[in-house]
Amino acid sequence: MKPTQQCPCCGSDSFQEWTKATDREYRTTDETFTLYRCNNCESLYLHPVPIDRLSIIYPSNYYSFAEQNTSIISSIKTGLDKRFFRQLSQSVKKQSLTALDVGGGVGWELNVLQEADNRVKNTMIVDLDPDAAAGAEKNGHGYFCGRIEEYETTTKYDIILMLNLIEHVEFPSEVLKKCRELLSDEGIIIIKTPNCDALDARIFRNRNWGGFHCPRHWTLFTKSSFELCAKNAGLSVKTFSYTQGAPFWATSTLFALENMGMVKITKERPVVYHPLYAPLTGIFAGFDFIRGIFAKTSQMFFVLEKGKQI
């Protein structure tokens, strides 16, 4: 008998079991999780979500809790992010800009945004990590510890960042609705999220694809399913682009090498800290940049603006 459930993206109760996955990255649990594919919008989602085990599935050595990486690859990424932010922020024609980062930790991305556009003055982070507050405030950002749905303010934000965040939440449409409330009339929401309709997602479907990030990614979208979710939240897509999914390729490849006994991944040294992870990421980034000219890659950028309220 199928469990009673609804797609977090579109609300449909028509689905099929897609695959099973485990926590190969951080080894926080031995449990096997089931991902389902919505027959209506084709999103993938985890059910049930481990909402009551956040402190377990996000261990102290989780990559976003680590110190900022200063490697050559990280520096290149920062440079590309700065150029990307500069291009997008120019569409907001105001003398001074307010910015909010949902799930922003200590504010690395807000720092880059401010370097890209010196009009960004008033910055805020909403995050669940109480340990990030001191770092965020040291970087000059306001900090609210809690869920974005709980955040109350009279400030309207010109730029809202949700980078690799929306796939981690239980109810993505509710998060998008809240962000619409916080958005200024001229403002934009910049979202980066995995694309489950990609080559590597198909190749590694039954071999713990890195994009599953199991059990931390709870909803995985296609381009069309995310557009539907955004529309239902009263938002419209201003611009869209695919971008490289090198971390997913690298993670999936290391899992495959581990299956062959060629590498060792442990709870103490997760896959992102393996010495082969950085070079593999660099190789696959180049591969995806070339392939992205004519193919769907496994990360997507959406820039949203206020649409018609539904």
- Answer yes or no: is pLDDT of 291 > 80: yes
pLDDT tens string 134-190 = 999 999 999 999 999 999 999 999 999 999 999 999 999 999 999 999 999 999 999
Sign of CA dihedral 27, 30, 31, 35: positive
Going by pLDDT thresholds of 50, 70 and 90, the confidence category of residue 310 is very low
pLDDT tens string 96-117 = 999 999 999 999 999 999 999 9
- Answer yes or no: is pLDDT of 257 > 50: yes
3-state secondary structure at position 221: strand
φ/ψ (deg, to 5) at 302: -120, 135
Neighbouring C-beta atoms of residue 32, cutoff 10 Å: 11
- Cα 190 to the chain's mean position, in Å? 11
Q: Which residues pair with 161 in a beta bridge?
A: 101, 190
Neighbouring C-beta atoms of residue 189, cutoff 10 Å: 26
Q: Which residues pair with 243 in a beta bridge?
A: 299
Task: Say what the pTM is.
Answer: 0.93
